Structure 1
């Protein structure tokens, strides 16, 4: 019975995130292979093939992207009318299919080949192998990633995951397995425990979307603590520029789509008033303009910090000096504030009045001389 061999492969869909099954080639019983163009490959266009039992088995077999299978399908009248025209040409939807070029070993006879020809063939194969890119180690590729490691202190898991996937695309990591392997190299702290649990539950051969959803659901911050910290973060001490850069990072982690004027306003409101009032708000177009102005005012902070430091040093010296009152009263060297000294008022205490002592006989005489009527 006549039959055709169909080659099925799982490819990326239109949105690059979904997978679709495609028919890439058709081979007849004479080993002639015909290629289908990309626009005619999706299996949803091949209604007669979808109805066969062979396709049902293929659908249950192909689960992951880049999986392939070749199966023979009996050439019924309906299938023959779709893929073979009345002249015996291989076609599909009125499009004549192109025959694939034969393999090298089919072009060269297996007997009577000279040593010179064989040498040239081997050299050609060696040059072709040099051009084929070899799969690189995931760890070596991730060294080129421009992203910080994820810890439990990372504020925005969704933004971090977006950057991670963009880096995977940039460096050619497209397979789910390699993305899962790369993710492990960017986790720290308790995130390692989460990764181990996922390996036990789903294995490393599972779908990347499953890992991504679980990761984002686990570490999503649904409260307001990140927002409060970013908005209320103010300058305390140190470099003004360092404060401004950190404030910008916190605000962008909180909301990546925040507009530039609002971003600059929030950074400026965290500055000391005497610093912010020296910046002309109307001249600022980008955050770099604000940073340039802030850097030019660093000397004002350094001057103030120097005055505070000198005052603190003076107060510190006053604290370590011995009490002069104790030294004056010969009480030794005692280290305490003079205002709290026990002997501070010893010379200012009022003197006790002198009490005159009299003889009892004199007192008796005076009492007898007093008139009792009075």
Structure 2
């Protein structure tokens, strides 16, 4: 024989997370095809083939899972020693290969140009249908994910991508390409631009670890603002339970590994004192116990508003009384000391008016007497 045809195919690895190029069968110029056992199919076991220039081109061509290429390779002494015995029987590692029957393999010896073109067209059509079907299925699966969309600001990227991976495991999405494709359904705002840039730089066929690492490095907030906001978040108004659930979510977003006791303390710390003081801290084992107690104390919120209203009215009355206790300005002016009474009831006010009248009357009388003396 002068050459053999090697059938290459991209298959998923054992863990399903990556792709592996395999040699599935070997064909002869006579049209016979021999199947390669599963354990011998990974191309890294066929070093003499990997060292050929033909395989370098095949490796560049096969980029998607389940793609197939059938390549004729000229036999060298090294290749013949591995795949042919002295009688020209096909073998590999001293293991004779089994010939595939026509029912299992409808292969022609050397396809002509027209047949080869038809084969490529059919292959592309099958790939297109498969890709379209996978995209539709991924869209349906994405709707069943129990995580919210990532906007670039709303969540801790480390925690979010961890939850995303858990959802992928739950729906048995193990291929890197599928993870990258389904990720698009959960991007919003600035994260959409990030996804587009990643597609242009690394393509959908890149490794998921690369995407995961870049995602965390891009959106990680290394400052203290999220920590401060989560820990200092306190009840302002509305439902006590709504506050508690919001506080728990904020804390878990920045510190997933926080212990339950500390989480309960931080939630209770943000409650109003008149509510927190009515909860027995020793009986709280989980956050659910805290929420149960909080639900029973919701009525205190309205009551506290009523108490505040009465307190405000009392404060206003007290302030008015304090304002009334200002010293009388008339007494101060007359240098009678600081006396606290209303100016209307001030005794010196009437006395001052009387003295003014008397002064005026005496002056008039003096003028009249002087005029009479002059006449006389």
- The TM-score with structure 2 as length reference comes to 0.67
* C-alpha distance in structure 1 between counterparts of 2:40 and 2:309, whole Å: 78
* CA-CA distance at 1:174 after TM superposition: 5.8
* CA-CA distance at 1:31 after TM superposition: 3.5
Does structure 1 residue 72 correspond to structure 2 residue 72?
yes
Q: What do residues 78-99 of structure 1 show as CA deviations (whole Å, max 9, x unaligned)?
A: 3233234567654433445454
2:290 corresponds in structure 1 to: 290
* C-alpha distance in structure 2 between counterparts of 1:188 and 1:359, whole Å: 96
1:347 corresponds in structure 2 to: 344
Sort the Cα spacing of 1:223 and 1:50 in 2 relative to 1 into closer, same or farther, 3 A: same
1:307 corresponds in structure 2 to: 307
1:230 corresponds in structure 2 to: 230
* CA-CA distance at 1:140 after TM superposition: 3.8
For the Cα contact (< 8 Å) 1:230–1:247, is it kept in 2? yes
1:49 corresponds in structure 2 to: 49
Question: Which structure is higher in helix share?
Answer: 2
For the Cα contact (< 8 Å) 2:48–2:78, is it kept in 1? yes
For the Cα contact (< 8 Å) 2:168–2:174, is it kept in 1? yes
**Structure 1, unpaired ranges of 5+:** 107-132, 320-336, 366-374
* C-alpha distance in structure 1 between counterparts of 2:101 and 2:260, whole Å: 58
Does structure 1 residue 61 correspond to structure 2 residue 58?
no
For the Cα contact (< 8 Å) 1:7–1:69, is it kept in 2? yes
Q: What do residues 326-370 of structure 1 show as CA deviations (whole Å, max 9, x unaligned)?
A: xxxxxxxxxxx89889xx95624651342314459969x9xxxxx
- The equivalences for 1:321-360 within 5 A come to 347-348=344-345, 350-351=348-349, 352-353=352-353, 354-355=355-356, 356-357=359-360, 358-359=362-363
Sort the Cα spacing of 1:310 and 1:4 in 2 relative to 1 into closer, same or farther, 3 A: farther
- SS of residue in 2 equivalent to 1:161: helix
* CA-CA distance at 1:156 after TM superposition: 0.7
For the Cα contact (< 8 Å) 1:177–1:204, is it kept in 2? no
For the Cα contact (< 8 Å) 1:155–1:226, is it kept in 2? no
Sort the Cα spacing of 1:55 and 1:257 in 2 relative to 1 into closer, same or farther, 3 A: same
* CA-CA distance at 1:77 after TM superposition: 3.5
- The equivalences for 1:192-271 within 5 A come to 192-198=192-198, 201-202=200-201, 205=204, 207=206, 209=208, 211-271=211-271
2:127 corresponds in structure 1 to: none
- SS of residue in 2 equivalent to 1:185: helix
* CA-CA distance at 1:243 after TM superposition: 2.0
* C-alpha distance in structure 2 between counterparts of 1:147 and 1:185, whole Å: 11
* CA-CA distance at 1:251 after TM superposition: 1.7
* C-alpha distance in structure 2 between counterparts of 1:104 and 1:91, whole Å: 20
- The equivalences for 1:93-104 within 5 A come to 93-100=93-100, 102-103=102-103
* C-alpha distance in structure 1 between counterparts of 2:285 and 2:90, whole Å: 64
* CA-CA distance at 1:55 after TM superposition: 1.6
Number of residue-to-residue matches in the alignment:
317
1:368 corresponds in structure 2 to: none
1:186 corresponds in structure 2 to: 186
- The equivalences for 1:17-28 within 5 A come to 17-28=17-28
CA RMSD in angstroms comes to 4.1
* C-alpha distance in structure 2 between counterparts of 1:30 and 1:306, whole Å: 98
Q: What do residues 221-261 of structure 1 show as CA deviations (whole Å, max 9, x unaligned)?
A: 11111111222222333322222222221121112222333
- SS of residue in 2 equivalent to 1:347: helix
* C-alpha distance in structure 1 between counterparts of 2:34 and 2:309, whole Å: 84
Sort the Cα spacing of 1:361 and 1:304 in 2 relative to 1 into closer, same or farther, 3 A: closer
| 347-356 vs 39-48, greater mean Cα deviation | 347-356
Q: What do residues 177-206 of structure 1 show as CA deviations (whole Å, max 9, x unaligned)?
A: 65555434323333344445556x438656
2:162 corresponds in structure 1 to: 162
- The TM-score with structure 1 as length reference comes to 0.67
* C-alpha distance in structure 2 between counterparts of 1:28 and 1:224, whole Å: 68
* CA-CA distance at 1:273 after TM superposition: 4.0
* C-alpha distance in structure 2 between counterparts of 1:278 and 1:338, whole Å: 36
For the Cα contact (< 8 Å) 1:5–1:72, is it kept in 2? yes
